[in-house]
């Protein structure tokens, strides 16, 4: 979202820091009283004792009283086995004066207790001491006074730790500590033009850490929505050589990683994932917080977004120009200026006088529209939403019970309280076609500024003593606010059209957001460091369950030079949800041609992305993966975060389904034929998958209307089979097969299938490309077949 000096109170602030984040605007650990205090607690100084007389051990849990020796407070400690090789550790006050907040939306359901004695929970391979928690914890209990919680976790033997998005930093977590780096801070904030290589808080918070060694991987999820700081101590930080020496010499590795979680309030509720491999911990985390449901096909294509398209003619001419210059585009985005005076769910009566006609124009050419809807509401009498919210008490309150007022794009604003179920009911209705007049079922939503951003608030957000439904202070729920907002939007879009998968892009996010939204990395800058950091940022989000992550192509702030822009488009994969730069047709012919080539390549790979997203929904495996995830025992890759596995598309051993016919939008590629690219490995074999459905509805789930094809190449034969017993009446067929690094002396190929019988196919070698092409198999993707090379 643009921060283009639109409001005077903010103007002064921006001028002083136009080229860099203003660090003084945001707190350091030293300036946060609870962080400073908790950081100083030393291991020997714990005030907690476990009352062993109270110990109760059942088949799946251990419970005991924990006594604070300083204040008169009793706590209940419990350790429970959860299905899927997970433990849950909880500490709560026995007789709290005030209850402590538990996040309401992060978990997809209440975790199922496992029967540990039946062997469901196995200790991680190799090393039974994979994690230890030290109760050098703080657990304040003064009524409405300090209520911080902290916990130290040690991972003996670990060489690296990953996780804790969102930070503009490298993927492997760095050692923080007194005198050195500030702890990783998780506190959703609107930080414009953030700096890279920083542990400062950004727009989203996912409190999960994975500790990794060549032998095992374990993880912890800190289930708390309050402001959180995490100190990491990787005792041999970055020293891969010493651990290699240990391995080679056979001596026991002395490495360990410590994570010290510190939250301002809330319960202590920790999930421990026992691995044993990266794939397992990520799946274990997904089993608790859920996966991203398969998005609509078009959402994976190219999005054009700019601040700001001014009127309907602007939108029409942008699309026309894309067509004239033969550049594909699927979605046009409208920032806040489409509204009537920054009132959401309305249209500017002059500039956007016929939104329905404009939208139907777009959809007639196979495109969709995304419009922005933020959670702040303009305080203007006569604005229906403001009047309704005031009359029904839908806004977040000050601590004295009056309605909270802050400053945002519309000027004086109040904020909907999405923790109140009545507000969610009301809000979801706003998206229906009779309420949000002028929209159609082809309009999707961009939820921005939902950290929430408050220009005149402390650290550009809401004061912590504001009150939410249920009496919770904003301090308790802060990191979950954006998630609560997007749950409302998601329900709204489902309510509007129950058989179309919603598409929502959010900036603020929390653990579990993946079940509702895609996210992007906010207001990045047009420079090489921001292009580079978008890789580790999205990889970290993907490990934290949020695979549908992108960065603005070309950066949001400043104008990229042409070279940077070209590279951005060329490296563009699914990380870029949208582009925020000048439309590509405005560049010189030379640049335009290169951008066109890059965009066409992206469109050619849409079937692959779509397949990966479906596989993500079925398994929890991230769509983009860092190298250590795939090669967990190869220490040389532990620090590589600028290569995403999916770029290694054509790694030997893979079969990639592509649609190579250039088109203006993904919606007109539906019946286009496939080209299969087969990259052979050293054993001259390869395999791959392809998923196809109606690309927009829930029929794939409700009536098994999809096909899932498995391709294998072995012994000079390509075999295609359907994996599941399902069907989808597609007309798509195989137009061509291209084998990279092919066997030599092939002169022909024979295809055999039920409907075609056995037919001979033409083949030819391309000496330059070192490939063999099999022409026109002409077989439907629905039908199992074999192609044998002779
Ligand atoms: C990290 O842990 C090591 C080993 O326990 C210790 O010597 C070192 O002081 C710690 N570093 C910080 C920054 O706390
Ligand atoms: C819709 O498309 C027609 C035909 O191209 C054009 O004349 C008209 O201005 C468009 N209307 C809007 C509101 O975009
Ligand atoms: C992008 C895409 O392929 N869109 C298609 C989705 O499916 C509907 C109905 O099958 C088609 O009409 C779209 O063209």
* Residues with C-beta less than 6 Å from any ligand 1 atom: 175, 177, 180, 233, 235
Please give the pLDDT value at position 342: 97
Return the ∠ at Cα 676 (arms to 546 and 293), rounded to 5°: 20
pLDDT (average), residues 29-42: 84
Q: pLDDT confidence of 72, banded at 50, 70, 90?
A: low
Q: Which atom of ligand 1 is nearest to the CA of 179?
A: 13
Indicate if 523 belongs to the active site.
yes
CB 749 within 8 A of CB 717: no
13 CA to centre of own chain: 30
Helical axes 589-604 vs 606-619, angle rounded to 10° = 40
* Residues with C-beta less than 6 Å from any ligand 3 atom: 297-298, 666-667, 669-670, 694-696
Task: Give the residue whose CA is nearest to atom 5 of ligand 2.
Answer: 361
Find the 234 Cα to ligand 1 centroid distance in Å.
Answer: 8
Q: pLDDT confidence of 60, banded at 50, 70, 90?
A: confident
Q: Which atom of ligand 1 is nearest to the CA of 234?
A: 1
Residue (of 210, 208, 229) closest to 159 by Cα position? 210
Which of 417-431, 550-564, 769-783 has the weakest average pLDDT? 550-564
Check pocket membership of 369 for ligand 2, CB cut-off 6 A: no
Find the 729 Cα to ligand 3 centroid distance in Å.
Answer: 12
pLDDT (average), residues 214-228: 95
Task: Give the residue whose CA is nearest to atom 6 of ligand 1.
Answer: 235
Please give the pLDDT value at position 14: 20
Please give the pLDDT value at position 71: 67
DSSP 758: E
Find the 542 Cα to ligand 1 centroid distance in Å.
Answer: 29
Find the 662 Cα to ligand 2 centroid distance in Å.
Answer: 25
Check pocket membership of 399 for ligand 2, CB cut-off 6 A: no
Please give the pLDDT value at position 128: 31
Task: Give the residue whose CA is nearest to atom 12 of ligand 1.
Answer: 177
Q: Which atom of ligand 3 is nearest to the CA of 297?
A: 1
Query: What are the pLDDT digits (tens) for 346-404?
Result: 999 999 999 999 999 999 999 999 999 999 999 999 999 999 999 999 999 999 999 99
pLDDT (average), residues 495-523: 95
pTM, two decimals, is 0.91
Q: Which atom of ligand 2 is nearest to the CA of 313?
A: 14
Pocket-testing residue among 313, 354, 357, ligand 2, by greatest number of atoms within 8 A of Cβ? 357
Find the 776 Cα to ligand 2 centroid distance in Å.
Answer: 41
Pocket-testing residue among 501, 611, 695, 697, ligand 3, by greatest number of atoms within 8 A of Cβ? 695
Pocket-testing residue among 176, 232, 235, ligand 1, by greatest number of atoms within 8 A of Cβ? 235
Check pocket membership of 353 for ligand 2, CB cut-off 6 A: no
Which of 90-104, 186-200, 570-584 has the weakest average pLDDT? 570-584
* Beta strands in 166-255, from DSSP E residues, in sequence order: 184-186, 204-205, 208-212, 217-222, 228-234
Please pick, among 140, 231, 374, 523, the residue that the annotation labels catalytic: 523
Find the 357 Cα to ligand 2 centroid distance in Å.
Answer: 7
Check pocket membership of 360 for ligand 2, CB cut-off 6 A: no
Q: Which residues pair with 738 in a beta bridge?
A: 677, 773
Please give the pLDDT value at position 571: 57
pLDDT at 642 > cutoff 80: no
Q: Bigger pLDDT: 247 or 171?
A: 171
Task: Give the residue whose CA is nearest to atom 13 of ligand 2.
Answer: 358
Per-residue CA distances from 459 to 219, 385, 406 (Å) = 31, 27, 13
Please give the pLDDT value at position 4: 22
Residue (of 365, 357, 372) closest to 329 by Cα position? 365
Identify which of 295-309, 350-364, 523-537, 627-641 has the greatest average pLDDT: 350-364
Pocket-testing residue among 177, 238, 262, ligand 1, by greatest number of atoms within 8 A of Cβ? 177
Q: What is the C-alpha separation between 411 and 100, in angstroms, rounded?
A: 34
Find the 257 Cα to ligand 1 centroid distance in Å.
Answer: 10
The strand order across the sheet containing 763-766 reads 757-761, 749-753, 785-789, 717-722, 707-714, 686-692, 654-658, 674-679, 734-740, 771-775, 763-766
Indicate if 634 belongs to the active site.
no
* Beta strands in 474-515, from DSSP E residues, in sequence order: 504-506, 509-510
Residue (of 648, 614, 677) closest to 300 by Cα position? 614
Find the 354 Cα to ligand 2 centroid distance in Å.
Answer: 9
Query: What are the pLDDT digits (tens) for 604-632?
Result: 999 999 999 999 999 999 998 998 998 89
Two tokens, residue 561: 């030079």
Please give the pLDDT value at position 559: 60
Q: Which atom of ligand 3 is nearest to the CA of 669?
A: 3
pLDDT at 18 > cutoff 70: no
pLDDT (average), residues 241-261: 61
Task: Give the residue whose CA is nearest to atom 12 of ligand 3.
Answer: 667
Please pick, among 92, 190, 269, 448, the residue that the annotation labels catalytic: 448
| DSSP β-ladder status, 674-679 and 654-658 | antiparallel
Say what the alpha-carbon torsion angle 730, 736, 737, 740 is, to the nearest 10 degrees: -130
Please give the pLDDT value at position 34: 87
Check pocket membership of 354 for ligand 2, CB cut-off 6 A: yes
Find the 539 Cα to ligand 1 centroid distance in Å.
Answer: 27
Find the 671 Cα to ligand 2 centroid distance in Å.
Answer: 28
Q: pLDDT confidence of 446, banded at 50, 70, 90?
A: very high
Q: Which ligand lies nearest the alpha carbon of 360?
A: 2
Which of 37-51, 259-273, 281-295, 498-512 has the weakest average pLDDT? 37-51
């Amino acid at each position: 979202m643009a921060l283009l000096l639109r409001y005077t109170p903010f103007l002064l602030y921006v001028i002083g820091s136009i080229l860099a984040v203003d660090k003084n605007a945001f707190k350091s650990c030293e300036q946060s009283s609870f962080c400073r205090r908790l950081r100083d607690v030393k291991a020997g100084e714990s005030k907690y004792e476990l009352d062993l007389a109270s110990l109760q051990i059942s088949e799946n849990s251990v419970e005991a009283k924990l006594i604070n020796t300083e204040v008169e407070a009793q706590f209940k400690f419990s350790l429970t086995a959860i299905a899927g090789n997970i433990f849950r550790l909880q500490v709560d006050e026995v007789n709290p004066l005030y209850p402590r907040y538990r996040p309401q939306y992060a978990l997809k359901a209440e975790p199922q207790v496992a029967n540990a004695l039946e062997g469901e929970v196995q200790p991680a391979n190799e090393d039974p001491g994979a994690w230890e928690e030290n109760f050098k914890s703080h657990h304040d209990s003064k009524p409405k006074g300090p209520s911080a919680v902290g916990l130290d976790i040690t991972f003996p033997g670990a060489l690296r730790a990953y996780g804790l998005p969102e930070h503009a930093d490298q993927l492997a977590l760095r050692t923080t500590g007194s005198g050195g780096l500030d702890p990783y801070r998780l506190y959703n904030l609107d930080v414009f033009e953030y700096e890279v290589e920083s542990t400062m808080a950004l727009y989203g918070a996912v409190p999960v850490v994975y500790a990794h060694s060549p032998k095992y991987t374990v993880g912890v999820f800190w289930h708390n929505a309050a402001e959180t700081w995490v100190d990491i101590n990787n005792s041999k930080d970055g020293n891969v050589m010493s651990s290699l020496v240990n391995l080679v010499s056979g001596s026991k590795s002395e490495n360990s990683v410590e994570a010290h979680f510190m939250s301002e309030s809330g319960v202590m509720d920790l999930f421990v994932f026992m691995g044993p491999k990266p794939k397992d911990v990520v799946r274990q985390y997904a089993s608790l917080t859920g996966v991203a449901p398969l998005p609509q096909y078009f959402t994976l294509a190219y999005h054009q977004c700019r601040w700001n398209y001014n009127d309907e003619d602007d939108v029409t001419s942008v699309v026309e120009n894309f067509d004239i210059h033969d550049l594909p585009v699927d979605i046009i985005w409208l920032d806040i200026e489409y509204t009537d005076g920054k009132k959401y769910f309305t249209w500017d009566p002059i500039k956007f006088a016929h939104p329905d006609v404009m939208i139907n124009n777009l959809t007639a050419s196979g495109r969709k529209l995304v419009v922005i809807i933020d959670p702040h509401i303009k305080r203007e009498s006569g604005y229906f939403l403001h009047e309704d919210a005031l009359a029904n008490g839908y806004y977040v309150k000050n601590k004295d019970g009056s309605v909270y007022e802050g400053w945002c794009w519309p000027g004086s604003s109040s904020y909907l309280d999405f923790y109140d179920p009545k507000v969610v009911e009301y809000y979801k209705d706003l998206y229906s076609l009779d309420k949000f007049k002028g929209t159609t079922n082809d309009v999707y939503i961009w939820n921005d500024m939902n950290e929430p951003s408050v220009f005149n608030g402390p650290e550009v957000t809401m004061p912590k003593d504001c009150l939410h439904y249920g009496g919770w202070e904003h301090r308790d729920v802060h990191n979950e606010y954006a998630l609560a907002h997007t749950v409302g939007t998601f329900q709204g879009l489902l309510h509007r059209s129950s058989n179309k998968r919603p598409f929502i892009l959010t900036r603020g996010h929390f653990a579990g957001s993946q079940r509702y939204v895609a996210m992007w990395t906010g207001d990045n800058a047009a420079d090489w460091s921001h292009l580079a950091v978008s890789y580790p940022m999205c990889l970290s989000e993907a490990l934290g369950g949020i695979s549908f992550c992108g960065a603005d192509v070309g950066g949001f702030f400043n104008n990229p030079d042409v070279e940077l822009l070209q590279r951005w488009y060329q490296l563009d994969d699914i990380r870029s949800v949208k582009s925020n730069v000048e439309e590509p047709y405005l560049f010189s012919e030379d640049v335009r041609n290169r951008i066109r080539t890059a965009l066409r390549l992206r469109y050619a790979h849409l079937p692959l992305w779509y397949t990966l997203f479906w596989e993500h929904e079925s398994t929890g495996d991230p769509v983009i993966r860092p190298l250590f995830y795939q090669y967990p025992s190869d220490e040389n890759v532990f620090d590589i975060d600028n290569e995403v596995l999916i770029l290694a598309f054509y790694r030997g051993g893979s079969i990639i389904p592509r649609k190579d016919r250039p088109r203006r939008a993904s919606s007109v590629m539906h019946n286009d034929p496939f080209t299969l690219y087969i990259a052979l490995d050293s054993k001259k074999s390869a395999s791959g998958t392809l998923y196809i459905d109606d690309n927009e509805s829930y029929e794939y789930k409700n009536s098994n209307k999809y096909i899932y094809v498995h391709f294998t190449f072995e012994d000079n034969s390509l075999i295609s089979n359907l994996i599941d017993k399902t069907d989808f009446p597609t007309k798509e067929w195989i137009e061509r097969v291209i084998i990279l690094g092919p066997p030599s002396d092939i002169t022909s190929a024979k295809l055999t299938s039920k409907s075609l019988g056995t037919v001979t196919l033409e083949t030819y070698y391309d000496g330059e490309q070192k490939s063999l092409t099999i022409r026109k198999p002409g077989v439907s993707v629905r039908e199992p077949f074999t192609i044998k090379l002779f």
